[in-house]
Chain A
């Protein structure tokens, strides 16, 4: 059974009197543990597709199933609960809370889902930060971290609640190539170690090469879908 299924998903945005189709009938299945990249030119619908998968937006037509549960017609409240327990996000601009330390930014995510003891929670957060290579930087605030370190905090924040699926929208776009490689390395490592499914969008061929599945999107339609390795 696929972790994620999209059947004829369409998304049409209304801009004034004009209807702008962003997705034109996408069919897609993602298995658990995949490390998939969605690539394509700007405006091809990558972000819209990730938003649909991430339950941040609902399709105009078609059906989305996550863990065999239809999520495309759920209420906003129900979608928030799906995101809370099942999906992690990594954003291009990190979106860390500047007044919280690296530790607290990660703690923030786990507090929403995990109701275990303080000590267990602390252990989990510290372990996750260590996993992404931020041991010793826990008490730093985002303005005291480099771009790569910030993105690692964002990855730790997405992973700490142990979601089935992590979506990353251009996670390396703001990073230099060396740092970008480091960040993708970590994502790949976590994918292998925790069997967490990663779907990320990118323009960068160097980053793309880490993926084991390539989904090419053009004008809101999948034009190629290839598995490698």
Chain B
């Protein structure tokens, strides 16, 4: 018990050096907690943005279409019939079905032309699945039966377009002949998913189908389902398609977000590597501190040995001191981390600092990443820090405690 007290009292020695190591550990902890919150927040927002503005919870498509979906083909489309729509709508957990026709197009404003993705939607069904209509900043979504389009504000700025302007979409039909869709802009969008703002033109489904000559074909069906049950519902849907001999498959949003999930995992691994390096610096700081303390207190160690203290008792004194540094560094880090994460959760981290929206980095987030709370990360990093401090001190402390008492006393 006295050795414990002595170890704690030793913390008051070399205040500047100890404070420096405590700061290093605190900032390492802060970095871990802050980055963790950013990463988790980014992941959560990315997934929400994918589900709410891009894929829905589940997408139904022909497996062949799914393979080539990035190329926006007009092959392997789903030809809708009432039975199919009804049976999907009536599945447990399905809250809405939105047929979509995705196609390649060139947007022409009369002067310039830019490649975009055309998205033919049935507006009422689309609104049941997606929340995009809440982000119309000018004008409105088109009404059923209207020959109008909706585009993102970024695309509008780029092409110098306003509400009520006319645009031409140059498309190739299923037979590979050119056709055009001439529509008036009904509204401008600024959705949290930057992909929508930058490169999608929403047009009524029937107009798109007519222009592309695909009959009542659609690329896929986007489904809104009970959140969290996507995998089960997708499995049930695929099973039911199989039973009805339909060449369709249901895909959870996670399959569409594979790239984002991989990116997120890679970023987390990167952050873990950075974190390990920072923890290693803290660890080296503690090892260095124990060695310097042992060198400064050589005569004192000699005296302790002369008094008959055993090696492990001397080691214990140094371990208490090093662990104390770890505890103080951990507490300080958790406190700064708490402040940082609180700020991040409340105000978010503007992507303007890194020069643009997340789409430039493959993240479907518009302008601000909000952090998330991960309380287990606080306890994890605190315990890890204390354990690292404790373990780092053992070897140098043994080195100190093994000193020959005569050499230590007389500093030879």
A93 located at the interface, meaning its Cβ lies under 8 Å from any Cβ of chain B in the complex: yes
Supposing A89-B303, A95-B300, A95-B303 touch, asked if A83 and B6 sit within 8 A by C-beta, the answer is no
B308 touching A84, Cβ below 8 Å:
yes
The answer for the CA separation of A157 and B308 in the assembled complex, in Å, is 13
- B317's nearest neighbour on chain A, judged by CB, is A97
Supposing A80-B305, A83-B306 touch, asked if A57 and B406 sit within 8 A by C-beta, the answer is yes
Interface size range on A against B: 20 to 34
Question: What residues of A have a CB within 8 angstroms of the CB of B309 in the complex?
Answer: 80, 84, 112
Q: Which among B6, B305, B308, B310 has the highest number of chain A CB atoms within 10 Å?
A: B308
B410 touching A95, Cβ below 8 Å:
no
Chain A's interface: helix, strand, loop or mixed, by majority? helix
A80 touching B308, Cβ below 8 Å:
yes
The stretch of B8-16, B144-152, B345-353 in contact with A is B8-16
Q: How many A-B contacts if CB must be within 8 Å?
A: 61
A99 touching B13, Cβ below 8 Å:
yes
The answer for the CA separation of A36 and B10 in the assembled complex, in Å, is 37
On chain B, the number of residues with a Cβ less than 8 Å from chain A's Cβ atoms is 21
The answer for the CA separation of A99 and B12 in the assembled complex, in Å, is 8
Question: What residues of A have a CB within 8 angstroms of the CB of B12 in the complex?
Answer: 99
Chain B's interface: helix, strand, loop or mixed, by majority? helix
B310 touching A77, Cβ below 8 Å:
yes
The answer for the CA separation of A107 and B306 in the assembled complex, in Å, is 16
The answer for the CA separation of A98 and B300 in the assembled complex, in Å, is 10
Supposing A100-B9, A112-B307 touch, asked if A95 and B409 sit within 8 A by C-beta, the answer is yes
B405 located at the interface, meaning its Cβ lies under 8 Å from any Cβ of chain A in the complex: yes
- A89's nearest neighbour on chain B, judged by CB, is B306
Question: What residues of B have a CB within 8 angstroms of the CB of A89 in the complex?
Answer: 303, 306-307
Question: What residues of A have a CB within 8 angstroms of the CB of B299 in the complex?
Answer: 91, 93, 95
The answer for the CA separation of A35 and B375 in the assembled complex, in Å, is 66
Kindly supply a per-residue 1/0 record for chain A positions 49-88, scoring 1 wherever the CB is within 8 Å of any chain B CB and 0 otherwise: 0010010110000000000000000000100111111010
Q: What residues of chain B have their CB less than 8 Å away from a CB belonging to chain A?
A: 1-2, 6, 9-10, 12-13, 299-300, 302-303, 305-310, 405-406, 409-410
14 A–B contacts from the bound complex (CB under 8 Å):
A56-B406, A57-B406, A82-B308, A84-B309, A91-B299, A95-B302, A97-B300, A98-B13, A100-B6, A100-B9, A108-B2, A109-B307, A112-B309, A157-B307
For the A-B complex with A56-B306, A109-B307 known, give 15 more contacts whose Cβ atoms are closer than 8 Å.
Answer: A54-B306, A56-B406, A80-B310, A83-B305, A85-B308, A87-B308, A89-B303, A95-B299, A95-B300, A95-B303, A98-B13, A99-B10, A100-B9, A108-B2, A108-B6
Q: What residues of chain A have their CB less than 8 Å away from a CB belonging to chain B?
A: 47, 51, 54, 56-57, 77, 80-85, 87, 89, 91, 93, 95, 97-100, 107-109, 111-113, 157
